[in-house]
Structure 1
């Protein structure tokens, strides 16, 4: 039963794929300031240990922390330019910390290590992100396209269990333990139109049916930019001719790293459920699925490093599917 996770950053359309393309972008600022308006202790910060492989469990209790103050991720004017309060070095440490947190939370909840952790809007082949391999897992593959916001990075602790199946505009696909998973960042030009979205997913289907080792899609997860709940499943029925189900159909979202705090969406305003995982009900069964918040612990405070919630899912291949 493979465990897949997806986490998107909030990056610009820059052709430079370094840290600055993802640091303190507008939606991230909005996300942090919204979450920080509530001063209660709410985020569960797990113990981590640098130098230890990130997927290995670290013993110890979670610490309950509150959000860093409103304005922490804002930009300020220096020498006539707007620059982040948080410099790139500090931002990288927070993203690294969030990766380690994801592994620790997933291990405790799923009782097993995350097999594949994919980052959207991040080019892991860029040298500025090289240290992510010590915090997210070894870099298995990177989709390094023109714009930073369209890149993907695939991390794992067991490359022998993964086959790379292909990539295209807004997607990458792998196969692990017999399960074909597609990770998406659906372009805005397709995301809200049912016909265009169906064509988008249809092209992925055609590519994977022709790929060596490919076949029928079992899981699709990531940033769909869908306009409403149920949109993606409906479009997939049209595009793929098979039934897909939302692994978390509830509109009330309680992230795994949140204590008694819920959200109405996965985006910066907590009103839209863009980040989802759906599974093919004809080929796999769902074990469980969880969300992770947009925040990373920094000391005894939580800071938003993106506008996207993370998603993790565990599925089991249906016999003879």
Structure 2
């Protein structure tokens, strides 16, 4: 029963894949200010321990945090070292949240991040061993794949907007679907059909699960398009319209994007080949320290996803 997680950053189209490509980008700033407009205490921050492997459980109670003030993620307020520390903290939070929610995490995939860039090298100590990287020309099209144990995974291929990994006997495809494709039903069918045909050509079987930023124009779009592309029924692992992230307390959202209005980040599974035991969303935020103690700040515009798959 592999456990997969996906978290996308908000990176720009720079051919330089360092931290500056992801530092306080437009939609990250919008996300933070949107969340901070409601100043209630809502984020559950789990204890973490620097210097130990990120998948090792750290025991202790959660701390309930409010959001840092609006403008906290303003452009130029955080240098690259400071922003990197926030992303590293988010990675450790992700592991600790998933340990409690799902029992751990076998594979953590980052969209819009090039883990092979030297500036991101320390992510291996905070997200897990670097298993593979899809380094596209633009930072926003990259993927970085991290694992607790590299031996149980097999890279199945990659292309523009996707990377496929086989863990155990499950074929997982992680996507950042280009907007031009996501908005067109025929283009989206061709996109997913091409991925599925690639897996079939390898003899690996069909797509079991799609995870990531689909940029879908409406709820239900991705599973419907996948059904046409693959010829089997797909289902959303979280079919509801209201999202309460696992790291939140009494706070919900209507979507996974910067304004909480669109459900772009999803996990959609092939009902003919796999089942889902559990699935959670994680917010865009991570704990930060300030003069008034700890608070939460958004490091991306995308919610994270964790899912336990059975086959």
TM range (shorter): over 0.9
Q: Structure 1 stretches (4+) deviating beyond 3 angstroms?
A: none
Give the 5 Å matches for 1:204-219.
204-211=195-202, 214-219=204-209
Shift of 1:38: 1.1
1:31 partnered with 2:31: yes
1:222 partnered with 2:207: no
SS of residue paired to 1:94: helix
1:92 partnered with 2:84: yes
d(CA) in 2 for partners of 1:230 and 1:141?
Answer: 30
Residue number among 170, 184, 209 corresponding to 2:175 in the alignment: 184
CA RMSD of aligned residues (A): 0.7
5+ unaligned residues in a row in structure 1: which ranges?
76-83
1:237 partnered with 2:227: yes
SS of residue paired to 2:127: coil
SS of residue paired to 1:67: coil
Shift of 1:305: 0.3
SS of residue paired to 1:69: coil
The residue number in structure 1 matching 2:155 is 164
Shift of 1:177: 1.4
Shift of 1:272: 0.3
Equivalent residues, number: 307
d(CA) in 2 for partners of 1:152 and 1:45?
Answer: 26
TM-score by length of 1: 0.95
TM-score by length of 2: 0.98
The residue number in structure 2 matching 1:105 is 97
Shift of 1:209: 1.0
The residue number in structure 2 matching 1:126 is 117
Shift of 1:21: 0.1
1:261 partnered with 2:251: yes
1:303 partnered with 2:297: yes
SS of residue paired to 2:42: strand
The residue number in structure 1 matching 2:40 is 40
SS of residue paired to 2:44: strand
The residue number in structure 2 matching 1:49 is 49
5+ unaligned residues in a row in structure 2: which ranges?
none
